[in-house]
Amino acid sequence: MHISIVGTGSALPQKAVSNDDLSRTLDTSDAWIYSRTGIRYRHIAGPEETFATLGEKAARDAMTAAGVRPEEVGLIIAATATAGNVTPSSACLVQARIGVPRAVCFDLNAACSGFLYALRTAEALMRSGVAGTALILGGEILSHFLDWNDRSTCVLFGDAVGAVVLRASEDPDAGDILGTVLAADGSQGACLTGRSDPDNHYLHMDGQQVFRFAVRTVPEVIEEVLRQTKTEKEQVRYYVLHQANARIIDAAARRMQEPLEKFPMNMERTANTSAASIPILLDEMARGGKISRGDRLVLAGFGGGLTWGASVVRW
């Protein structure tokens, strides 16, 4: 059985905030932020914009692209570290909005690696017969967890939700998830934290420690998944990496001795959107005609937990 990505969608809040906007109230500058991160804008949710409203748009776009009706969806997983509710889950909220009558729905938190964890979970459930069609959402309303007076974190993140539709198929020409490696090391968790405690809910990050972890781990996990799937680097059309920082991606490309052109980036316009970053970039690439049927992509994520992972996907 093949499990293929048959549709993508994404939703960004309406309000875009530039580095220059931030530098009016914060001791920072466009030059510092852009040169250290590759970020110029982030989208910030307004009071009416939630995971559910953005997720509805992303899901509808992905289902339209896939030609899938709501009744066909049997599984919805929402990867998010910033769910607004204890219950109902974000997956259930989106389910209700898009009119999926009956499905297995739950949230999963693996921070910035959440989309890859959800992809692997959905794949395993689909291969075991739980559903033939699944919707995966990756998204965050991170702005609710940022201290807007802390220049070392608030300039880095943005809000967004991305979605993909997966379909199980026996068709030998269908796309597939060829292999995935996931991992976590909770003993390093203190370098990136955010709590649900209302009195102390701001995100804290030891940026340099996370940076060093990412630069070492991302190439390693990619090499591991390439070996596991017997994929040569020449067969990889694109490496779709979590969009935390352009310098991390530059460093990963250099370590892997792969040309930077194979590493698409959009953090300039979105900043780091955690679990949303891979699906919103995939959506942009799919809609921009950058990916063709049969292309091999490597998806790779890393972040809070610490968690990390990589998948090889045939489109």
Q: Which residues bind ligand UT7 (CB under 6 A)?
A: 28, 32-33, 36-37, 112, 151-152, 155-156, 207-208, 210-211, 214, 244-245, 248, 272, 274, 303
Query: In the annotation, is 204 catalytic?
Result: no
Choose between 16 and 130: whose C-beta lies nearer to ligand UT7.
16
List the one residue out of 78, 63, 177 whose CA is nearest residue 126: 177
Choose between 37 and 180: whose C-beta lies nearer to ligand UT7.
37
- The alpha carbon torsion through 103, 107, 112, 117 (nearest 10 deg) reads -60
Q: How far is the CB of 29 from ligand UT7 (least distance, A)?
A: 6
Q: How far is the CB of 44 from ligand UT7 (least distance, A)?
A: 16
Choose between 75 and 241: whose C-beta lies nearer to ligand UT7.
241
Choose between 103 and 137: whose C-beta lies nearer to ligand UT7.
137
Q: How far is the CB of 296 from ligand UT7 (least distance, A)?
A: 25
Q: How far is the CB of 247 from ligand UT7 (least distance, A)?
A: 7
Catalytic residue among 19, 154, 242, 245: 242
Q: How many CB atoms lie within 10 A of CB 17?
A: 17
For residues 95 and 99, what is the distance between their CA atoms, to the nearest angstrom? 6
Query: In the annotation, is 112 catalytic?
Result: yes
Q: In sequence order, what are the beta bridge partners of 18?
A: 41
List the one residue out of 255, 224, 253, 225 whose CA is nearest residue 238: 253
Choose between 175 and 219: whose C-beta lies nearer to ligand UT7.
219
Going by C-beta distance under 8 Å and a sequence separation of 6 or more, which residues neighbour residue 98? 56, 59, 60, 63, 70, 73
Catalytic residue among 19, 92, 154, 272: 272
Count CA within 13 A, CB hemisphere, residue 182: 13
Query: In the annotation, is 272 catalytic?
Result: yes
For residues 226 and 229, what is the distance between their CA atoms, to the nearest angstrom? 5
Supply 191's token pair. Answer: 């370098």
For residues 138 and 159, what is the distance between their CA atoms, to the nearest angstrom? 11
Secondary structure of residue 180 in the 3-state scheme: strand
- Distances in Å between the alpha carbon of 303 and those of 134, 159, 193, 197, 229? 25, 16, 10, 21, 24
Q: How far is the CB of 141 from ligand UT7 (least distance, A)?
A: 15
Q: How far is the CB of 81 from ligand UT7 (least distance, A)?
A: 10
Choose between 132 and 207: whose C-beta lies nearer to ligand UT7.
207
For residues 96 and 62, what is the distance between their CA atoms, to the nearest angstrom? 16
Q: Closest-CB residue for ligand UT7?
A: 207
User: Would you name the residues annotated as active-site residues?
Assistant: 112, 242, 272
